[in-house]
Amino acid sequence: MLSAPPSNRGIGKLLRDVAEDGAHLARQEVNLARIEFAQIARDIAKGTGFTVGAAMLGLLTVQMLVFGFALLMGDALFRGHYWIAAFVLTVILGAIAFYLLKRGTALLSTKNIKPEQTLAALRRNRDD
């Protein structure tokens, strides 16, 4: 039967080695986390840039569509009075924007973003 070779190192030396290895491992993990977070931050920045670019192009697309509707309405409904068509579209789009704003602010009120069920469960657990 094979036996382990005798160790000339004492307990203190072994504990010091374990502590040094643990510290080295922790430093490596922190460095890895730093590298990963830097990559995540770069990806977030790129994704944000692409999203903002898409939003800007989408806004330009909607503006062109509204302009086309104004021209179409000016010709078809208002006999060449394009300013009336633009005014009518402004009122309609303003009303829609106001409605969306009111709905959005209502959904974002503190009443709606509080996790009521979780808070109730925490209160029940605290009382138990």
Length of the chain equals 128
Domain definitions of the chain by residue range = 11-127
| pLDDT digit string (tens) for the chain, length 128 residues | 455 555 566 898 999 999 999 999 899 999 999 999 999 999 999 999 999 999 999 999 999 999 999 999 999 999 999 999 999 999 999 999 999 999 999 888 877 677 778 778 888 888 87
Contact 106, 112 (CB under 8 A): yes
Q: What is the pLDDT of residue 3?
A: 54
**d(C-alpha 23, C-alpha 29), whole Å:** 10
